[in-house]
Every structure is written in C-alpha cells, then in structure tokens.
Amino acid sequence: MTPENVETLINLLMLLALFAVLAIWWATKHGGRRGRIAERARLAALTHRNDRSEAADADEQAGFRTRLLRRLARIGDKIPLFDAGYRLKLQKEMVRSGYRSSVAVSILLAVKFCVGLVCAALTVMLGSHIPVVGEYPAGRGIAMLMVFVVGMILPEYVVAFQASRRRKAMAGCLPDALDLLVICTNAGNSLGVSIRRVADEMKSICPPLSDEFSLTADELKLSGDSARALHGLAERIDLPSIRALISTLTQSMRYGTPITQALRTLSRTERLAHIVSLEEKAAKLAPKMVVPMMLFILPAIIAIAAGPAVIQLLAFIAGQSK
C-alpha cells in the first residue's frame, strides 16, 4: 500500500473510533432502567410531535429554510446523546434568546452534533498538516476528539451570547417601560391592560421587551393566574431589575397596596441605576481611548507637525553635501 492509502485508512479508522466512542458512551448512559424509561418517553414525545406536524410536513410549498429546519429538528430528536435535564437547560437558554418554538432545542442539538462532526472530519483530513501533532496518528486522534468537543460546545456559546445581548437591550429600555407602566396605571388601567399598552408602545423602541410584555399580557388574559404569568416573565428575561419588578407587583397584589406608588418608586430606582451605569461607562471611556490614540492618532499628528521640518532638514543636508 502507498503512504497515501495508509494515511486515508488511518483517517477512516479514527472516524470509526469516534463513532464507536459515542456509541459506547450512549450505551453506558442510557443502558439502565431509567435510561430505557427516558428513551421511551422521548420516543413517545417524538411520535406525538410527528403526528401533530404531519400536515405541515406534507406542505410542498414550504421554503428551503423551513424544510432545512424540519430536517434538523428530526435529527435533533433522534440524537440519543443528550438527556432530559440537559435538554431542559437548553430550552431555558433558547427561550431567553428569543426562540420559543417547540423544536428549537432539537434544532440546536442537531446543529451542535453536525458542527462537531464537521470539525472532527476536517481535523482528520487536514491533521497531517498540523505541526508536530500531525505526524503521529495518536496525536491526530486526540486533536480530532478535542475539536469535536469544541465544535459541540460552540453553538451553545453562540446562543448564550445572543441571550446576553438580548438581556442588555431589554435592561437599557426597562426604565422607559416602567415610566409608561406608571402612566398607564395612573390612568386607571388594570395590570394586564397596562402591560399590553406598554408592549404596543415599546414595539418600535425595544422589540425583545415588547415581545416579552405581549406574551405576559396574553398569559394574564387567558389564564388569570397573575403570579404565574409574572414569574414566567422573570424566568424568561432573567434580569435582577425584572425580578424586582415582579416581586413588587406580586407583593402589591397580595397585600392590596397601591401598585402605582410601588411602580413609581421602582421606576425612579431603575432610572437612577441606569444613569449611574451610563456615568460609569463614560468614566471608563477615557482610559480605553488612550491606546487607540497612541497607536493611530498620535503618529499622524507627529507626522503632520514634524513632517515639514524633517523635509526641510533633509533638503538642507542634501544641499550642504553638494
């Protein structure tokens, strides 16, 4: 056999070893009684979901993106590497990122698995070009496993980054929303009507916060359980200021205290905290600007100020040498 064929065979064996490790890990994790029960529950939920979405899957006019998401959801449902607890954790993170679809977790799991496999395959194919490590099959195998794990983790970090950015956007617009809520409650509106009006007014200013308030208003209108709806809002947004708002509203409804006064106090506190945070950012701006100014602005100023003098000096030296 030629060296190229030997290297190809080694790469294929490493990929097969990766699949074997995944299969052994799945068998160890799901081989017990609890694992079999969880697997049956997952299959039952998958069957129920497939029966419910059978008409939608038969739609031939669905776009490419819709068909791709459906296939990813099917792949994510069939991946047995993730237990129910991990799926629940991902579901909370997806909800905080703004993805409330019932198949969002399955799509994320499929993306995680596909990205990990693609990264592992690229590492195997290009592993021979890695300095030092690529010269040994064991080194390429270890690199393949490490890259596979990194590829599996990367989509989850992307979702966490989106959730963090969404929370920051909502935190910046929360004082304005509280002011509007105070105005609505002063006008004599109920809590559900006030939240709905604030959601409508904030739609063009902060769409994520408007979306969350709209969902809370719908829950208040349909269920009537205000405490559960408000705690759901706090769980979805996961901000200390929102938790303080929910705690204030819950205590006001429980003890019969005026909601308007509590909201006015909370709005004043949040506005002050927002101003303090802006002042802190402004105070940190000057030290952050030192390095860019020294690297980019200061050399240009020196060149403009000292450039003509240097040119004249060089011309004078050239004239003296003649």
Q: Which residue has the higher pLDDT, 139 or 31?
A: 139
pLDDT score of 258: 77
85's torsion region: left (phi>0), alpha (psi -120 to 50) or beta? alpha
pTM of the complete model: 0.67
Domain containing residue 238: 167-275
pLDDT score of 268: 84
Least confident window among 16-25, 134-143, 152-161: 16-25
Distance CA 160, CA 192 (A): 30
Q: What is the pLDDT of residues 33-90, one digit of tens each?
A: 455 455 555 555 555 555 444 444 444 445 777 777 788 788 777 776 677 788 888 8
Residue with tokens 């040498």: 321
pLDDT score of 62: 53
pLDDT score of 179: 86
pLDDT score of 56: 47
Distance CA 201, CA 213 (A): 11
pLDDT score of 7: 58
Residue with tokens 């006001």: 252
Please check whether residue 160 lies inside any domain of the structure: no
Please check whether residue 120 lies inside any domain of the structure: no
> CA-based angle 82:65:208, to the nearest 5?
75
Choose the most confident range, by mean pLDDT, from 36-45, 163-172, 244-253.
Answer: 163-172
pLDDT score of 54: 47
Distance CA 238, CA 164 (A): 10
The pLDDT of residue 297 is above 80: yes
Q: Which residue has the higher pLDDT, 138 or 258?
A: 258
Please check whether residue 176 lies inside any domain of the structure: yes
Q: What is the pLDDT of residues 199-245, one digit of tens each?
A: 998 888 889 989 999 998 888 888 777 888 888 888 888 888 888 88
pLDDT score of 260: 79
Distance CA 213, CA 196 (A): 7
The pLDDT of residue 309 is above 80: yes
Please check whether residue 210 lies inside any domain of the structure: yes
Q: What is the pLDDT of residues 88-147, one digit of tens each?
A: 888 888 888 888 887 888 888 888 888 888 887 787 777 666 666 556 666 777 777 788
Q: What does the DSSP 8-state code read for residue 99? A: -
The pLDDT of residue 299 is above 80: yes
Please check whether residue 206 lies inside any domain of the structure: yes
What DSSP line would sit under 66-126, residue for residue? HHHHHHHHHHHHH-TTS-HHHHHHHHHHHHHTT---TTHHHHHHHHHHHHHHHHHHHHHHH
What DSSP line would sit under 135-180, residue for residue? GSHHHHHHHHHHHHHHHHHHHHHHHHHHHHHHHHHHHHHHHHHHHH
Please check whether residue 260 lies inside any domain of the structure: yes
Please check whether residue 152 lies inside any domain of the structure: no
Residue 99 identity (one-letter amino acid) = Y
Domain count for the chain:
1
pLDDT score of 55: 44
pLDDT score of 59: 46
pLDDT score of 241: 82
Q: Which residue has the higher pLDDT, 280 or 72?
A: 280
Please check whether residue 157 lies inside any domain of the structure: no
pLDDT score of 121: 78
The pLDDT of residue 250 is above 80: yes
pLDDT score of 46: 55
Q: What is the rounded radius of gyration, in angstroms, for the C-alpha atoms of the chain?
A: 29
